[in-house]
A = this chain, B = another copy of it.
Amino acid sequence: MKSWKENIRRIDPYVPGEQPDLEDMIKLNTNENPYPPAPGIIKAMKEFDFDKLRLYPDPTASMLTDSLAKYYHVDKEQVFVGVGSDDVLAMAFLTFFNSKKPILFPDITYSFYEVWANLYKIPYERPQLDDNFKINKEDYYKKNGGVVIANPNAPTGIYENLEFIEEILLHNQNSVVIVDEAYIDFGGESAVRFVEKYENLLVVQTFSKSRSMAGMRIGFAIGHKDLIKALNDVKYSYNSYTMNQVSLCFGVPAIEDDIYFKETLKRIIDTRERTKVELKNLGFSFPDSMTNFIFATHPQIKAIDIFRALREKNIFVRHFNLSKIDNYLRISIGTDEEMDKFISALKEILC
């Protein structure tokens, strides 16, 4: 091996869900929103001053942090934005997890947590979920260098209420606790209400799911201003301008159009509940989901076989080839029409 190659950081990267681009496909594999983003974005683009592209964006992204602060009733000094919640979370790992003690997150959760811990050489432990895929909160009551909880958890879809989250906070006042709420808008209650009480709490959310903007890469964190200041110091030491002019311009109308936001959420939740009934009728079982996906298994037919059979019908769902969950499929909630086609396809596959 060439000697310069010896100094390359070697990692097993996260593998994102495939992004096929086929006609007539039904894409239920990356938890994207089936509805377009807020119509105000089209108006914002029509008014966009293209000449502005030659100038660096506002490094503080204040248009967007102001809008988020207003919406979530916090100060703008309590809001941090990044290139998707992945960027926000990765920066939070780098900023806050510098202890020699391990950070804690469940063995089954968003698989990027382990990837970031490896990338930044952060020690970690992964307490096991119980047999029903539930988090044992007591597992997080020991000394640690930080705690990361996805609520609702992914890919299980299970939501824990705020008393559960507060128990974890009460037992962890000496380390930063990240609550990753990528899916919270689909029926859960946000821990943002605790950021005044627990100054070591960082709540992370994204525009990618509930706000139909996976393509724009906007995520954000809300927490005590000292946490946000520390995150910004690291951000300014990495890339002063992460949010481009268009992201700033499109992000604001997505926050401001709350009527459209709540309408599309309601449609997705209604479709999810209807899909749960259909899946149960077909013999599937799944943890009750409070997200825009259902994590389902079938007693007779292997998940991988269903996955492949669906694929042949141009229907894409997600299968994780990981122990404990390799007999499950993560099925994103699409439109009613897409879910009807999906259920029909399942009926054909199962009989």
Binding site for B on A (CB under 8 A): 2-17, 19, 27, 30, 32-37, 41-42, 45, 48, 50-59, 83-84, 86-87, 90, 94-99, 115-116, 118-119, 145-146, 173-176, 199-200, 208, 212-217, 226, 230, 232-247, 250
Q: Is the interface of A mostly helix, strand, loop or mixed?
A: loop
* 16 CB < 8 A contacts A-B: A3-B174, A4-B96, A4-B176, A9-B234, A10-B233, A11-B233, A13-B232, A14-B237, A16-B241, A35-B54, A45-B45, A53-B213, A53-B214, A84-B241, A90-B238, A246-B250
Chain B residues with Cβ below 8 Å from A33 are 54
The answer on a CB contact under 8 Å between B7 and A32 is no
How many whole Å from A82's CB to the nearest CB in chain B? 9
How many whole Å from A15's CB to the nearest CB in chain B? 7
The answer on a CB contact under 8 Å between B236 and A217 is no
The answer on a CB contact under 8 Å between B15 and A37 is no
Among A10, A11, A237, the one with the most B-chain Cβ atoms within 10 Å of its Cβ is A237
Among A50, A52, A87, A90, the one with the most B-chain Cβ atoms within 10 Å of its Cβ is A50
A237/B35 contact (C-beta < 8 A), A5-B226, A53-B212, A59-B19 known: no
The answer on a CB contact under 8 Å between A98 and B9 is yes
List 17 additional A-B contacts (Cβ < 8 Å) besides A16-B56, A42-B50: A4-B175, A7-B96, A7-B176, A14-B236, A16-B240, A32-B54, A36-B51, A41-B50, A41-B53, A53-B212, A53-B215, A83-B244, A86-B241, A90-B238, A116-B238, A215-B246, A246-B250
The answer on a CB contact under 8 Å between A11 and B234 is yes
How many whole Å from A251's CB to the nearest CB in chain B? 11
How many whole Å from A255's CB to the nearest CB in chain B? 15
